[in-house]
Amino acid sequence: MFRGLKHLGLFESGGEGLTTDLIFEVLANSPDLEYLTFAFSEIQVSATSFFHPISLPRLHSLALKDLGNVVCHFLCHIEAPNCRMIEITTYHLEATTNEFLEEHFEPFESLFRELHTKSRNPKIHVKPDCMEWYEPRRPGFRIYASSDSFPPMLRWIERVVDWADLEGLEMEIEIAGTVLQDPEVTSILRRLRNVTKLSACRDDNNSQGTIRLLSDLDHNPIPVLPSLKVLHFVYQGVIPEEMLQIVRTRFAAHLNHQEGGGPRKLPDLEIIADIPSSVWLMPIKSLDFAVITQIRSIAGVRFTLNWLRVPWEEDGMLAVVWDDERGVPHLEGYRYDSY
């Protein structure tokens, strides 16, 4: 009925007459479709279910943006094996994160893997309540999903994304201390091979738990998170001596791994520790600075203390500045922004 139709788009539309069955009927009769976009539209889920898969072999671009729970129905019915541009954003799903990723995303996983291996410098950012996967150089590739649970996102990332060593991949995992109480979360995090940045949430007071993810619990010669380049956390509740031991062990394990003919070179590690303004006046022990000096002396490690913004109305604030040449802190009598 719609043979020859190549472009179909629906933007900010909707109404009682716009149903999934109606749309699926149009799609089923549009085998030549190449570009399909549904965005910010209210589409009613039909009372009767459309069970037949819809094959769109010529579809080149698929965009499903902020359609609510309707996106699940589209993903379950559309087959687009030759799609090369895909953008999916989801909010306010009725389905749980586990159901959405394990069931509704499953038909597209092989396509995601294929696009992933062909990507140039893709970026993945996993937060406690959402994940985003995109490629800056390819505007038409973006996957965004809000989440009600952290473990299903990690399981999906491990299965779909982390299986291949992809050059140029940037993967950031942002965690809150509470999720580390789940043994499954810590187990998956320690297995991931392509994480390049690990960060603790700004309001997280359990940064030491994040640091301990790098510890070698199993005495494995291959370091945990072997692609890690940046470790970013809040300097509260941190045990400097333990952090020093973990970093030392990590790089010692790397040397042993390389001597054994390991396939990967462990990248340099940048450690960024934020000093929140709420505790800005609390002194940092001299012992802490001494330990930080030892951490900085490890080859391949860079350590930065970052004093976050101090309210401008607080006059006479003293700032602690690190003197790299002398290896000691000194005080400056002016308001200080960041280090």
What's 152-211 look like in SS3? HHHHHHHHHHCCCCCCCCEEEEEECHHHHHCHHHHHHHHHCCCCCEEEECCCCCCHHHHH
The amino acid sitting at 240 is P
Q: pLDDT tens for residues 318-337?
A: 445 555 555 555 544 333 34
The model's pTM is 0.79
Contacts of 49 (CB under 8 A, 6+ apart): none
Extract the residue ranges of the chain whose pLDDT is less than 70: 1, 14-16, 48-51, 92-95, 138-140, 164-166, 177, 203-206, 216-222, 253-265, 277-287, 308-339
Q: What is the pLDDT of residue 190?
A: 87
DSSP H or E run through 305 = strand 301-307
- Amino acid 61: pLDDT: 92
- Rounded Cα gap, residues 97 and 150, in angstroms: 9
289 CB burial (10 A radius; 0-12, 13-18, 19+): middle
Output the furthest CA–CA distance in the chain (Å, rounded): 79
pLDDT tens for each residue of 36-88: 998 877 888 887 665 678 999 999 999 998 887 788 888 888 889 888 888 88
Residue-wise burial string across 39-72, b where 16 or more C-beta atoms lie within 10 A, e elsewhere: bebebeeeeeebeeebebeebbbbbbbebeebbb
Domains of the chain, residue spans: 169-339
CA distances to 74, 117, 229, 288 from 235, rounded to whole Å, are 45, 37, 19, 11
pLDDT (0 to 100) of residue 15? 63
pLDDT at 74: 86
What 3-state class would DSSP assign to 78?
strand
CA 32 to chain centre: 36
Which residue, among 178, 161, 293, has the nearest Cα to 227 in the 3D structure? Answer: 161
